[in-house]
Structure 1
Amino acid sequence: MITIEQVLEVLKKDHNFRDIINQEHYHYSWTGVTFDHLSYDSRDITPSTLFFAKGAGFKLEFLESAVQAGLGFYVAEKDYQVGIPAILVSDIKQAMSLVAQAFYQHPQDKLKLLAFTGTKGKTTASYFAFNILKQSHKPAMLSTMNTTLDGKTFFKSNLTTPESLDLFRMMAEAVSNGMTHLIMEVSSQAYLTKRVYGLTFDVGVFLNISPDHIGPIEHPTFEDYFYHKRLLLKNSQAVIVNSGMNHFDFVAEEVADKDHDFYGKDSENTIKHSSGFSFKAKGKLAGDYDIQLIGDFNQDNAMAAGLACLRLGASLEDIKKGIAQTSVPGRMEILTQANGAKVFVDYAHNGDSLDKLLQVVTDHQKGKISLILGAPGNKGESRRQDFGHVLNTYPEINVILSTDDPNKEDPLTICQEIASHINRKVRIIIDREEAIKTAMSETTGSSDALVIAGKGADAFQIVNGKRTDYAGDIEVAKKYL
């Protein structure tokens, strides 16, 4: 519950309140009005809802249908003149976040908050942290792959970082479930769209940075992308940073006055990488570790999570157990065909993560290696060229281009664009299941491998803005083992 006086107090404190318009058309004074529900969805309305008219695609008819459902007040950046009072603000996204915090009684203050950002590795690091913290604490997790608010029940997330109204509602549910910690993936988009405005994290982790999410509906430039990534560090009490990341010197200078740990090359906290399922750490996490996820980058993610959790009350024993127990849906999942060939299913969906994935696979498998790859439509268009550049450094890999969330673009056109950046002949098989079936039929023995990259554990294809039926890469691959 929140009163209109409390809403106005929050907005005024943020210097975000402008006026209340059309109050003369309301049938009683707004003083003393109480809201028991917040919404930005015009289909989710009661007479006691405070509605937020947000988004570049917001249409007047959305608000008109909400008024017909009994809506009495809305918050917006302009007066839509629908006959009910409008609380006008300068920034609707800031208003949503701060009002949601007040409405749900500041649940962030009742949890230890850990956030991961980076171009890749956020989900894997979050899973490491979840498994570490659950040894002695009660963590909730908001992840690209899965969300849990009670530590037991998992459900699929729609956004890497939820909209602020959803975020603080979920935080409040985690608190009511007795959770002690919350692990979050915080995307650059979360800061660009102010989903976490006004939120301070106990520990923020910066895993890495490489060009991604640059396009007409995302970040206009790499500088803008990098800036919004770094906002997590500014809004964290303590930070963990990968000293091996690109532009590390710049980031290190920015966090010099903060409580921090660096990990990786030339830092106190280093890893002696192993090509197998173990590694050795020096520094604050000194010791020997077992790990299910192969690859140097996964060992780095484990180190980042361990250092963060150490600050949040985990013991070294908790960290060792948690790392050893961690597996991640859609991240380096490995199947073995009847002929012994390996099938690797991984979420690698940009040039850098694809390169890291192929490095691991080519280290382990020395026979014929095939790759199934696509690119999403209407986002991250720079990836298509990046994929080409990466694949030109692996001339021995047999490439099959296929559909991967084409949205409103033609998947054939996307595949042809990727192919235009590859300096050898590739195949295009638009039907993703057919591509997987074909590639698996072409393996001959235990030294061979098929890499299916991009969709990970996603059991859908996004076509024309909607999720359509698709069994998922891992399930399709199992059919043809």
Structure 2
Amino acid sequence: MILLKDILYKVTLEKVVGNTSVAITNIEFDSRKVELNDVFVAIKGTLSDGHDFIKMASEKGAIAIVCEILPEMIINGITYVQVKDSQQALAFMAANFYENPSENLKLVGVTGTNGKTTISTLLYQLFKKAGFETGLLSTVKIKVGDTTYPATHTTPDSLTINKYLREMVDAGVEYCFMEVSSHGIHQKRTKALHFEGGIFTNLSHDHLDYHKDFKEYRDVKKSFFDALPKSAFALTNVDDKNGPVMLQNTVAKKYTYALKSMADYKAQILENQFTGLLLKINTHELWVKLIGNFNAYNLLAIYGASDLLGLETMEALQLISTLESVDGRFQYAVSSKNITAIVDYAHTPDALKNVLETINSIRTGNEELITVVGCGGNRDAEKRPKMGNIAATLSTKVIFTSDNPRNEDPELIIDAIEKGVSPAHYKKTLSITDRKQAIKTACQMANEGDIVLIAGKGHETYQEIKGERFDFDDFKIVNQMLTDLHK
């Protein structure tokens, strides 16, 4: 039996009306899911305010209400707990409800604009290969040992996080690697978690539809490191100008990685090919299956984290050399006509620039680089012309198309992307609103030896249009098109 007062441990209380010694069944922040004897936590969201649904939760049998503003009508038999911050309260309540599972495993958070999924997923693979029971909380999937669950958010809500962490602890998991998004930090979803370490990848233009400006976006990321305990490590990319900022106020043990700067973990790219990279990490040379400068940074972060978590150096390097690319992250295939198709999640200006520069550093210059790219609807609109400029500047030919238009007009999104194209590059661009047709056209344009990049959606297996999700897998579609068109 769980009592309300037990799950309120560490929650800052403003006022309590009623009895906190009542037994509770579950915690919910969605009034539609409330059942008899549940606690309903009223949260002010971006689209709706949970305080508007307190009456509904009460009618559905909630035995307690946690809220920032007490309702005018107090119902006898229901306990009302007023708190300063409902999101933070939910984080502590969720951790307490599931018996603080993060304290019983080594949880490492990965944050930054690009690279979170690759680093967290490959760390999961690495420690799994090293023989440890391992867990993963990522954009693509959630893994508890060998069991896989679908992921719905980069950083799930506090209840979902603690539910899976509890499952991991019960399954004997020792290490868990977790993507930590700026949304998740800002909404206090990670507040009550105990981290063994934090990794910073890089920071570039993204999510400014949510955050007021770049400074707020950066400072939210920084607050994750500010909150790390003394026992944790903070590992940051010092080649990124925001890397040192992350370490300014942390009490965690500070470590750095870099390709260009002096750092604790330093790498040099000796060879860069479509088949992989030859790297020198500190004093050791190794061949890896991943491609490009951005993956050199990712692998360096992985090596640093594995060292800080106690993995033996030679074992870590040997296992890193066996790691495979993550779905939708520079995932490529070569057709029978020697046309290379690359699918990548690059949906920010910096990520797109990294992928295109990587391809250009490998290609001989005799082949065409045909890029298919769009931007998501109802998201940061400022990046659209920047994406257009980067794609047109660094590709031989570009097709602008739909990404996930959501509730926006896809043609207006494409117009915004095109505004970034300089007159010198107009002739190499084309706009095709239908994404499947755009991919087909790119494949039709490609000749032997050419490269087709499909950017923006990566691992996603759907396209979101006007509130509906339709089956759509870039990698499957481009491979089918190349097979059909170049038999």
Same fold (TM over 0.5): yes
Q: What is the Cα deviation at residue 115 of structure 1? A: 1.0
Q: What is the Cα deviation at residue 136 of structure 1? A: 2.8
Aligned to 2:485: none
Aligned to 2:375: 375
Asked if structure 2 preserves the Cα contact closer than 8 Å seen for 1:2 and 1:102, the reply is no
Please give the alpha-carbon distance, in whole angstroms, between the structure 2 residues aligned to 1:401 and 1:303.
34
Aligned residue pairs, count:
461
Q: What is the Cα deviation at residue 434 of structure 1? A: 1.1
1:324-364, CA deviations, whole angstroms, 9 ceiling, x for partnerless residues? 22320100110222321111000001000000000111223
Partner residue of 1:234 out of 216, 223, 226: 226
Please give the alpha-carbon distance, in whole angstroms, between the structure 2 residues aligned to 1:263 and 1:142.
23
Please give the alpha-carbon distance, in whole angstroms, between the structure 2 residues aligned to 1:162 and 1:399.
35
Please give the alpha-carbon distance, in whole angstroms, between the structure 2 residues aligned to 1:69 and 1:334.
51
After TM superposition, the structure 1 stretch with the greater mean CA deviation from structure 2, 48-57 or 112-121, is 48-57
Aligned to 1:339: 337
Aligned to 1:26: none
Aligned to 1:2: 2
Match of 1:319, as an amino acid?
A: A
Q: What is the Cα deviation at residue 386 of structure 1? A: 2.0
The question of 1:468 aligning with 2:469 is answered: yes
Match of 1:246, as an amino acid?
A: K
**1:60–1:126 CA distance, 2 compared to 1 (3 A):** closer
Match of 1:208, as an amino acid?
A: N
Q: What is the Cα deviation at residue 61 of structure 1? A: 6.4
For the aligned residues, what is the CA RMSD?
2.0
SS state at 2:272 partner: coil
Aligned to 1:430: 433
Aligned to 2:27: 38
SS state at 1:387 partner: helix
Asked if structure 2 preserves the Cα contact closer than 8 Å seen for 1:18 and 1:88, the reply is yes
1:55-103, CA deviations, whole angstroms, 9 ceiling, x for partnerless residues? 3313566444433332222211123437344321110001000111111
Aligned to 1:27: none
Please give the alpha-carbon distance, in whole angstroms, between the structure 2 residues aligned to 1:2 and 1:279.
55
Please give the alpha-carbon distance, in whole angstroms, between the structure 1 residues aligned to 2:61 and 2:338.
63
What does 1:216-365 align with in structure 2 at a 5 Å threshold?
218-236=210-228, 237-251=232-246, 253-254=248-249, 258-264=252-258, 265-273=261-269, 274-276=271-273, 277-283=276-282, 286-323=283-320, 324-365=322-363
**1:378–1:176 CA distance, 2 compared to 1 (3 A):** same
The question of 1:71 aligning with 2:26 is answered: no
The question of 1:104 aligning with 2:98 is answered: yes
Asked if structure 2 preserves the Cα contact closer than 8 Å seen for 1:210 and 1:246, the reply is no
Asked if structure 2 preserves the Cα contact closer than 8 Å seen for 1:132 and 1:318, the reply is no
SS state at 2:351 partner: helix
**1:41–1:250 CA distance, 2 compared to 1 (3 A):** closer
After TM superposition, the structure 1 stretch with the greater mean CA deviation from structure 2, 36-45 or 352-361, is 36-45
Match of 2:472, as an amino acid?
A: A
What does 1:442-481 align with in structure 2 at a 5 Å threshold?
442-446=445-449, 448-464=450-466, 466-481=467-482
Asked if structure 2 preserves the Cα contact closer than 8 Å seen for 1:64 and 1:82, the reply is no
SS state at 1:48 partner: coil
Q: What is the Cα deviation at residue 456 of structure 1? A: 0.2
**More relative contact order, 1 or 2 (CA 8 Å, 6+ apart):** 1
1:312-333, CA deviations, whole angstroms, 9 ceiling, x for partnerless residues? 2322244224322232010011
What does 1:173-184 align with in structure 2 at a 5 Å threshold?
173-184=167-178
**1:179–1:263 CA distance, 2 compared to 1 (3 A):** same
Q: What is the Cα deviation at residue 233 of structure 1? A: 1.7
**1:388–1:246 CA distance, 2 compared to 1 (3 A):** farther
Please give the alpha-carbon distance, in whole angstroms, between the structure 2 residues aligned to 1:441 and 1:181.
46
Asked if structure 1 preserves the Cα contact closer than 8 Å seen for 2:4 and 2:21, the reply is yes
SS state at 2:39 partner: strand
After TM superposition, the structure 1 stretch with the greater mean CA deviation from structure 2, 233-242 or 315-324, is 315-324
Please give the alpha-carbon distance, in whole angstroms, between the structure 2 residues aligned to 1:183 and 1:144.
12
Unaligned runs of 5+ in 1: 24-29
After TM superposition, the structure 1 stretch with the greater mean CA deviation from structure 2, 184-193 or 265-274, is 265-274
Please give the alpha-carbon distance, in whole angstroms, between the structure 1 residues aligned to 2:132 and 2:314.
13
Partner residue of 1:58 out of 43, 49, 54: 49
Aligned to 1:143: 138
Please give the alpha-carbon distance, in whole angstroms, between the structure 2 residues aligned to 1:52 and 1:246.
39
Match of 2:69, as an amino acid?
A: K
1:275-297, CA deviations, whole angstroms, 9 ceiling, x for partnerless residues? 032333343xx422232211011
Asked if structure 2 preserves the Cα contact closer than 8 Å seen for 1:132 and 1:321, the reply is no
State TM-score, norm by structure 1.
0.91
Q: What is the Cα deviation at residue 113 of structure 1? A: 1.0
Match of 2:222, as an amino acid?
A: R
Q: What is the Cα deviation at residue 253 of structure 1? A: 4.4
The question of 1:163 aligning with 2:148 is answered: no
**1:60–1:278 CA distance, 2 compared to 1 (3 A):** closer
The question of 1:118 aligning with 2:112 is answered: yes
**1:142–1:59 CA distance, 2 compared to 1 (3 A):** closer
**1:250–1:41 CA distance, 2 compared to 1 (3 A):** closer
After TM superposition, the structure 1 stretch with the greater mean CA deviation from structure 2, 323-332 or 341-350, is 323-332
